[in-house]
Amino acid sequence: MKKRFIPIALLASAALVLSGCSSSSNDSGSSDGAQDGAGQTINVWLMRGTQPDMTDFYKEVSDEFTKQTGATVKIEEVPWADAKTRFQTAIAGGTTPDVAEIGNTWTPEYADAGVLLPLDDMVKKAGLENDMVEGLKDSGVYKDELYGMPFYTAIRALMYRSDIMTELGLEAPKTWDDIITVGNAIKAAHPEMITFPVPGDAEMSAYPWIWGGGGEVATENNGEWTSELDSAKSREGIKFFTDLALKHGFSTQGATTWKETDILDNFANGSVAMAVQGSWTPNAIFEKNPAMEGKLAATTIPGKTGGISPSAVGGSHLGIFDTTKNKELSFEFVKLMTSGDLAKKFVDETGFFPGQKSLLEPALESDNPLVTGFAKQLIDGGAAVPVTPTFGAVQAKKTTQTMMQAILSGQKSVDEATSEATKEMTDLLNGNN
């Protein structure tokens, strides 16, 4: 049974109906049920990745929370790179925060571990149950209970230097062959640039090429998972992507250990021509280097012979840990961040897509070339990584990244690296770790 695509294409029509009708389109998410929290404090972890500086926004959120509840909220930013370790340590020591942003692939894992509180009753009481993006909501459900409140939706597409394309009379690539043709033209005209970096420590940058080649990351049958990274079609996609570095010279040796943040930094300093990047990265790039504004655009990741290579629909949930001493106050914070004006302001400032249907329509109707490509990828080319609590173990072990780095460094062939990764991933997905 294949579990790749999510029913996110249904959201466009749903958003038209729901826009302006949901309770989340009200003011800042206040409600008659707000708690009298004077003298109380809740602790919140929000993740720090490649979005712009959110210090001022979080100050605004804190002030509004105190205004509504009388309580204080302490927001701590946790780097994504450290988050898994931080969560594991906190869970083991019983020192988890009241509320935390949780990557959508991790929520089932923590729900299965019994450290998150179910949210259904509080969500229904707040009238928010019908305003959640379905794909993101689904990944927050475990055994028919909602444990992760949709916070924001994220997608990766192909971002490129539109000014360089215009200068050379090129169009955005529509096939894999086009990527090579366009890449060679850019490489010849701008040898000082990194034409198409292939990052070795960026898991989600690898999966589109596996799916685009017709392969699968893993499939499930009667509760048993099997990784298919070593299938002929998956290997074809991995080889195409790694050959951008090894055969065509579009990347750089340093990118073997790059994370997505490294690609962002190099886009910001003007040294990257095109790469797989997230919908949230342009604002961060412009914050680092305002001179880049007007020089970037995005398009869908090309399919092998046309169409779209699917990209994992990611995003985050907000979860409440079972160690909280005040679940009502904790949910007031969750509600504040996922409904009303502050939810809209968050996605406006970061470039993420909203986790609420009522806020999705304006994003889909944008004519901004940095929004339309990501929006089309989200609606027409969104996919899901294996939806199972054990996928968090795969991510913690960095199975995919280790495979990519072994190929890019020349330590292993595609066949060797994918064979080893397939075995490890299959074991981890089935809890044999």
Confidence band of 23 (pLDDT split at 50, 70, 90): very low
Which of 277-281, 329-333, 404-408, 424-428 shows the lowest mean pLDDT across its residues?
Answer: 277-281
Residue 32, φ and ψ in degrees, nearest 5: -65, -15
pLDDT of residue 13: 31
Res 362: pLDDT: 72
Assess whether pLDDT exceeds 70 at residue 16: no
Residue 400 and residue 418: Cα distance in Å, rounded?
Answer: 9
Q: What is the pTM of this model?
A: 0.78
Can you state the angle between helices 203-212 and 399-408, rounded to 10 degrees? 80
Read off the tokens for 221.
């049958």
* pLDDT value at 104 more than 70: yes
Cα–Cα distance measured from residue 180 to residue 196, given in angstroms and rounded to the nearest whole number: 10
User: What is the model's pLDDT at position 171?
Assistant: 97
- Asked if pLDDT for residue 229 goes beyond 50, the answer is yes
Indicate whether 24 pLDDT > 80.
no
- Mean pLDDT score across all residues of the chain: 89
Closest CA to 58 of 72, 75, 45: 75
- Per-residue pLDDT for 326 more than 80? yes
The mean pLDDT value for 250-268 works out to: 96
Distance between CA 250 and CA 188 in Å, rounded? 11
User: In the prediction, which pLDDT does 81 show?
Assistant: 81
pLDDT tens for 60-71 read 999 999 999 999
pLDDT-derived band at 17 (thresholds 50, 70, 90) equals very low
Q: How far apart are the C-alpha atoms of 28 and 344, rounded to whole Å?
A: 9
Q: pLDDT at residue 260 above 60?
A: yes
List of residues 6+ apart from 121 with CB closer than 8 A: none
pLDDT of residue 35: 58
**CB half-sphere exposure, 283, CA atoms < 13 A:** 18
pLDDT of amino acid 6: 44
